[in-house]
């Protein structure tokens, strides 16, 4: 294995903080599969049983999440390197929550559950990294449930988007109808349409048929009305 590959592996989640000697021991004593995934190939599907961890080493990957009734979905790009499966490897619900597809040639490394358990036992750094990922995920999801009510429909739309994505940054694509958003927010679809068009007029989103694209989620968050940024034209007399 080349030195550059060693450096790449040491940057992977769960391996950060390990030394080269520890990583060498892991690679020599465990079975991990390295795979190159071609463009447009889905290598993890939502609802499949999680039997181990998948490390996305490099490349471009899209994560797709479908609603429970399969009527709408959200797509977002994954920042690499990344690890998939930490939140569903143990416990009662051990099925993947998202699907993952390669947008370009992508390298992944797969580790089975038994290997992950062994590394958790033998390497404190690996165990602490896993706990850090799990607790961060739990706290982040809990905080979203306790955000204060939003003062405008635009802000409520942004809160809806934020609640249904994994990472509040980068490109997002919602394939959902206006009546479905209206049902979630308890709003008339006509008001939802007007609010979405106000966001689009400010260059924060792009609208298509049953599709909402968010080019940069950071910018959408920075222009949320609660922040005091008035670049969004908020109509107080119209919901």
Q: Which of 131, 135, 127 is nearest to 22 (CA)?
A: 127
Q: Identify the CATH number of the domain in which residue 56 sits.
A: 2.60.120.10
Are 102 and 30 members of one domain? yes
Q: Give the CB-side neighbour count of residue 185, counting CA atoms within 13 A.
A: 28
Which pLDDT band holds residue 236 (cuts at 50, 70, 90)?
Answer: very low
Q: Dump pLDDT digits (tens) for 4-43.
A: 677 888 889 899 999 888 888 888 888 889 999 999 999 9
Q: Dump pLDDT digits (tens) for 50-82.
A: 999 999 999 999 999 999 999 999 999 999 999
Q: Give the CB-side neighbour count of residue 74, counting CA atoms within 13 A.
A: 20
Are 12 and 31 members of one domain? yes
Q: Dump pLDDT digits (tens) for 146-183.
A: 888 878 999 999 999 999 999 999 999 999 999 999 99
Q: What is the pLDDT of residue 122?
A: 92
Q: Dump pLDDT digits (tens) for 173-216.
A: 999 999 999 999 999 999 999 999 999 999 999 999 999 999 99
Which pLDDT band holds residue 230 (cuts at 50, 70, 90)?
Answer: very low
List the domain range (segments joined by +) for residue 45. 3-62+78-145
Are 131 and 165 members of one domain? no
Q: Residue 229 pLDDT more than 50? A: no
Are 126 and 213 members of one domain? no
58 class by beta-carbon count within 10 Å (0-12 exposed, 13-18 middle, 19+ buried): middle
Are 100 and 18 members of one domain? yes
Q: Which helix (H) or strand (E) holds 112?
A: strand 106-112
Are 95 and 200 members of one domain? no
Are 107 and 54 members of one domain? yes
Are 86 and 132 members of one domain? yes
Q: What is the pLDDT of residue 3?
A: 57
Decide if 162 is inside a domain. yes
Decide if 69 is inside a domain. no
Which comes out higher in pLDDT, residue 234 or 160? 160
Are 157 and 206 members of one domain? yes
Are 22 and 98 members of one domain? yes
Decide if 71 is inside a domain. no
Q: Identify the CATH number of the domain in which residue 202 sits.
A: 1.10.10.10
68: which 2 tokens? 């429970």
Q: What is the pLDDT of residue 28?
A: 85
∠ CA 29-31-36, nearest 5°, is 135
Decide if 169 is inside a domain. yes
Last residue of a domain, one of 145, 174, 195: 145
User: How many domains is the chain built from?
Assistant: 2
Decide if 233 is inside a domain. no
- 198 Cβ contact list (under 8 Å, min separation 6): 154, 232, 233, 235
Are 109 and 164 members of one domain? no
∠ CA 214-215-219, nearest 5°, is 85
DSSP 50-91: --EEEEEEES-EEEEEE-TTSS-EEEEEEPSSEEE-TTTSSS
Measured from the Cβ of residue 45, the count of other Cβ atoms closer than 10 Å reads: 13
Are 54 and 110 members of one domain? yes
Last residue of a domain, one of 145, 165, 180: 145
Which pLDDT band holds residue 224 (cuts at 50, 70, 90)?
Answer: low
SS3 105: coil
Decide if 237 is inside a domain. no
Contact 102, 63 (CB under 8 A): no
Decide if 234 is inside a domain. no
């Amino acid at each position: 294995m080349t030195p550059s590959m060693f450096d790449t592996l040491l940057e992977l989640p769960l391996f950060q903080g390990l030394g080269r000697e520890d990583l060498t021991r892991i690679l020599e004593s465990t079975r991990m599969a390295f795979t190159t995934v071609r463009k447009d190939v889905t290598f993890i599907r939502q609802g499949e049983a999680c039997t181990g961890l998948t490390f996305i080493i490099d490349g471009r990957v899209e994560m797709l999440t479908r609603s429970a009734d399969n009527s709408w979905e959200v797509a977002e790009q994954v920042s690499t390197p990344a690890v998939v499966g930490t939140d569903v490897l143990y416990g009662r619900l051990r099925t993947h929550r998202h699907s993952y597809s390669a947008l370009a040639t992508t390298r992944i490394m797969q580790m089975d559950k038994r290997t992950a358990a062994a590394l958790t036992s033998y390497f404190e750094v690996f165990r602490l990294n896993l706990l850090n990922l799990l607790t961060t995920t739990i706290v982040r999801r809990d905080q979203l449930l306790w955000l204060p009510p939003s003062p405008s429909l635009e802000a409520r739309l942004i809160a809806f988007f934020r609640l249904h994505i994994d990472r509040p940054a980068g490109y997002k694509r919602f394939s959902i109808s206006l009546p479905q958003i209206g049902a979630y927010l308890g709003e008339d679809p006509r008001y939802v349409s007007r609010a979405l068009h106000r966001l689009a007029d400010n260059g924060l989103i792009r609208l298509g048929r049953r599709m909402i694209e968010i080019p940069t989620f950071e910018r959408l968050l920075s222009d949320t009305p609660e922040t005091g940024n008035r670049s969004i034209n908020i109509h107080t007399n119209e919901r």
